[in-house]
Amino acid sequence: MITRYDLSRVELADLLEGEPLYRVDQVWEGLHAQHREPADLTNVPKPLRAAIEELLPPALTLLKEVVADAETTIKQLWQLTDGRLIESVLMHYRDRSTVCVSSQAGCAMDCSFCATGQVGFDRHLTVGEIVEQVVRAVQRSEGRRVSNVVFMGMGEPLANLDHVWPAVERIHDDLGIGARKITISTVGVVPGIERLAKEKLPVGLAVSLHSANDRTRNRIAPINRTYPLRKLAEALHSYRRVKNRRLSFEWAMMAGVNDSENAARELAAFARPLNAHVNLIPLNPTPGYSTPGTDPKSILWFRDVLDSFGVNATIRSNRGTDIDAACGQLRAEQQLVVRGKSRPAKT
């Protein structure tokens, strides 16, 4: 089924065959630059508004919304037209507003600590399903400008680059969000990184590293068995050569797994030659992973150790944890209800 933001401008013109080009432009601008619902396209005739409403239904139906952190975090659970569920999160900060979008329904990467990985893979999202998450966030942000987009919701964006990249271009070209304000986060899908290096738009790249030791990383992020650290480093070095953008690494802190001085040393050895910035993320507890997160004091200590090894690291504030709405948990809860079962715990 074709949804509202699936079509390119040319395809929209085809769909509205017989309408003059300026009308097509009005509809396109109305849906994208002005983020309007078809019914609110007041500059086009009513019958055309009705036709668009019918021809281009929305991809997303809001199932649940959770507001946290003094109304600065808005987490939305969406149902797709085939019943699949995805989440997006709008986060307002003092100096920016960021929407975190999903790129797949579920995820096949199977990272042991990740709520989405624990549920498994449903399917890739279409271009329209990705773009519409951003449009919805803009509509929901009530006067505050959505300045940043991060692909850190459900799914592995570089495993769905055929849809993610056209969505990035649309978010940039038609929704008007700067390429430098768009960040793609990957668990380390090397062919995707190589492809990204060839694209023009200078989007940011974040790599979910979590361990700079193959044995540990094989266990917590199984994609490492296919693309081990040495291959990942090679891809990142060539990415850095062609792109003039700073890399960042994400490191979710797990007690006894990746929070020792030795882990910091391995991370520093990996990050320093790439001049990468490290984001330390307090682990969100998930149903399928029993290892606790590193305690806040030890996270500070780990940051200081990294600093002494010459690596810049910041500790990311964890949005939505207080209401169990962090990281894939809205859907995880819903899924348990929908499927009536939980998955066995992993180690």
The yes or no reply on residue 114 touching ligand SAH (CB under 6 A) is: yes
Residue from the set 283, 299, 313, 330 that interacts with ligand SAH by CB under 6 A: 283
Q: Which stretch binds ligand SAH (CB under 6 A): 23-31, 80-88, 239-247, 276-284?
A: 276-284
Residue from the set 129, 132, 250, 266 that interacts with ligand SAH by CB under 6 A: 250
The yes or no reply on residue 156 touching ligand SAH (CB under 6 A) is: yes
Q: Is 327 a catalytic residue?
A: yes
Q: Which stretch binds ligand SAH (CB under 6 A): 80-88, 236-244, 283-291, 334-342?
A: 283-291
Q: Which stretch binds ligand SAH (CB under 6 A): 6-14, 129-137, 139-147, 278-286?
A: 278-286
- How many residues touch ligand SAH under the rule CB under 6 A: the total is 16
Place of tokens 């409403």: 53
Q: Give the H/E segment covering residue 159.
A: none
DSSP state for residue 37 in the 8-state scheme: -
Nearest to 279 by CA among 152, 156, 191, 168: 152
313 vs 327, beta carbon nearer ligand SAH: 327
Query: Could you give the C-alpha distances from 19 to 10, 38, 224, in angstroms and in order?
Result: 13, 16, 52
113 vs 302, beta carbon nearer ligand SAH: 113
Say how far apart CA 178 and CA 175 lie, in whole Å: 9
Q: Which residues contact 267 (CB under 8 A, 6 or more apart)?
A: 209, 212, 249, 251, 278, 306, 311
Helical segments of the chain, H only: 9-15, 21-31, 46-55, 115-119, 127-140, 161-173, 190-198, 214-220, 229-242, 261-271, 296-308, 329-339
Q: Which stretch binds ligand SAH (CB under 6 A): 53-61, 63-71, 88-96, 277-285?
A: 277-285
Tell me the HSE value of 201 on the side-chain side, using a 13 A CA sphere. 22
Q: Is 114 a catalytic residue?
A: no
**Minimal distance, residue 234 CB to ligand SAH, in Å:** 19
Binding site for ligand SAH (CB under 6 A): 109, 113-114, 152, 156, 185-187, 208, 250, 252, 281, 283-284, 286, 327
Question: Known catalytic residues?
Answer: 87, 327
